[in-house]
Structure 1
Amino acid sequence: MKHLLSLLEYNESAFVKVLELAEKIKSDWTKGKRPDLLPRKVLGLIFEKPSLRTRVSFESAMMQMGGNSIFLGTSDGQIGVRETVADFARTICHYVDAVVLRTFSHATVVEFAKNSSIPVINGLSDQFHPCQAIADILTIRQAFGPKPGKTVVFVGDGNNVSRSLAIACALVGYHFILSGPKPYHFDKDFITLFSKRFPNAVLNQSADANDSVKNADILYTDVWTSMGQESENEKRIKKFKDFQINDRLFSKAPKHCKFMHCLPAHRGEEVTGSIIDGRASIVFEQAGNRMHAQKAILLDMILGSK
């Protein structure tokens, strides 16, 4: 059974095939072609966290491909509360063809997948956000072409988005730099995991934002305080204040550099309005690519699992 929990399930060639499929799907979509690629298939969306892009892009993807979706929020299934994660997984497998989980704990995704007879897709956990990373690489290829060797600089902390983006960059031969306060760099467990899986990949970490951006093809950031970290907000704002992507910092990057953000953005904190709305921003193309990337993921998971 195929699952998408972290991107580590893919080898380089399989990952590129998903990207190429997403590119074809998007090309057809722009021409008004929306074939029923998943007719009568049903996707279960099980979300512990609120969502705009993940929910709407998956629901639209299924509808445009001739399928349907069922949404279960915190007041519906209550996964792991009313019944165990394992029992929940074994039950819902009889009703739907694949499941997207958006959870606080990655352990919930792993436990669900262990007990699932249908594909499980991680729509976000505290450790990884693989669907976002696939859309990110799709967006970079759209901006620069498919050649490897690009440098992606993530200005922020070693969170779920940056972990998945680092893995995705390694799969396509990009260089990855995490720039942020040293206490917020990737933890040792992730570095060990990454180095073992990608011994030849370029992954660097820096506490100097000015130096980090000088060779960037892409400058990427995320909110400084993620869902579940609200109690740390004041502390994080103080720690990351020198890592805001603004006109001054962006001016130190090459002229061709593009700006990306997974959204939602806290304007005036991690990024200024002049950058997110500026000439170099590809943020909303990036958001739109979530749907096209996830169509490819669904086709790969549902049809490829048979």
Structure 2
Amino acid sequence: MKPGMSLIKHYLQFKDLRAEEYAYLFERTREIKKRFKNYEKYTPLTDRTLAMIFEKASTRTRVSFEAGMYQMGGSVVHLTTGDSQLGRSEPIEDSARVISRMVDIVMIRTYEQTKIERFAAYSRVPVINGLTNEYHPCQILADLFTYVEHRGTNVNCLKGKVVAWVGDGNNMANTWLQAAEVLGFTVHVSTPSGYEIDPAIAGVKNPACYKTFKDPMEACHGADLVTTDVWTSMGWEAENEERLKAFADWRVDAEMMAAAKPDALFMHCLPAHRGEEVTADVIDGPQSVVWDEAENRMHVQKALMEYLLLGRIG
């Protein structure tokens, strides 16, 4: 925050909000989603404008934020790398100063976390992380709400639960660790050698919030939720063949799901590659909630934008 700027709440990492704030957000998400399903008009963000800046392409992020903002009564400005390349045509700090004078809230999907942090430092409006190389907080927000929706009534149902992360120690894994620390559950992490999580990047202070396993079957044992991601994330395509070999034993299949609790859920942030990180019978099976998870991106982001712009309602 630069001198002279009023206090603004950004959402750049999962740990930017406290447990009680997530409890509130899940309550608001439940209400906002209920109104959506009942075709009840709810437009608290009328005359508010969201700027979306995409340096990394996306289907779900764009549709969920854009549709959500329109449903809440606001408008959207969509910028891609062809329209605005952060730090290339002008310094990120200058882009932040200009764009934030013209809109009410900004969502950025980019590469380095430092880019979004620099933008937020000079922004006059809230900034949301739509994905960076290091973190993906909106996705984990949707995943956790989906778990609560299926297995409880509020955020407290997450306490003491076990989430098995099988695959790459990437931005999703980092964010799961932050969520575990904030909300009181444990992540069992299993990655191939050379693709481990970096606790320093994850930014967790409590080592008890996660355990690492060399064997993905052991990580899944007794888990309440099993989740994974593509083996080759955007930006790492040159390593694809190497990763296919390294990750061969980290495919979530029926045997892994059988090692988890009988009522364990399966999640995937999508897009998914059936036959690589997950088998078709798992992602299309009865324990999978990936489609609810995908839809809930829109609902949790609507609640998040409402909170960042209007504060608590009621």
Q: Are residues 1:296 and 2:296 paired?
A: no
Indicate yes or no: 2:204 matched with 1:194. Answer: yes
Residue in structure 2 matching 1:99, options 103, 106, 113: 106
Unmatched runs of 5 consecutive residues or more in structure 2: 1-7
Q: Tell me which of 269, 278, 297 is aligned to 2:285.
A: 278
In 1, the alpha carbon distance for the partners of 2:181 and 2:57 equals 30
Structure 2 matches for 1:1-306, cutoff 5 A? Answer: 1-145=8-152, 146=154, 147=157, 148-190=159-201, 193-195=203-205, 199=206, 201-304=208-311
**Structure 1: distance between partners of 2:192 and 2:84:** 39
Identity of aligned residues (%): 41
- The SS at the match of 1:59 is helix
Query: 1:173–1:201: 8 Å Cα contact kept in structure 2?
Result: no
Aligned AA (2:256): L
| Bigger Cα displacement from structure 2, 250-259 vs 134-143 | 250-259
Q: Is the 8 A contact 1:45 1:72 kept in 2?
A: yes
Unaligned 5+ residue runs, structure 1? none
Q: Check the 8 A contact 1:16/1:172 in 2, yes or no.
A: no
Q: Is the 8 A contact 1:137 1:169 kept in 2?
A: no
Judge conservation of contact 1:155–1:179 (CA < 8 Å) in 2. Answer: yes
> For residues 37 and 309 of structure 2, what CA distance do their matches in structure 1 show?
24
Kindly provide the CA deviation profile for residues 73-112 of structure 1, in whole angstroms up to 9, marking residues without a partner as x: 0111122111110111100011110000000111100110
Q: Distance in 2 between matches of 1:137 and 1:73?
A: 29
Shift in alpha-carbon separation, 1:170–1:34, aligned structure 2, 3 A = farther
Q: CA deviation at 1:188?
A: 4.2
Report the Cα offset of residue 201 of structure 1: 4.7
AA aligned opposite 1:194: V
Cα distance in 2 for partners of 1:25, 1:270 equals 33
TM-score, normalised to structure 2's length? 0.93
Maintained 8 Å contact 1:213/1:253 = yes
Contact 1:36–1:64 (CA under 8 A) maintained in structure 2:
yes
Q: How many residues align?
A: 301
| TM-score w.r.t. length of structure 1 | 0.95
CA contact (8 A) 1:15 1:171 kept: no
Q: Distance in 1 between matches of 2:74 and 2:208?
A: 38
Alpha-carbon separation, structure 2, partners of 1:289 and 1:50: 20
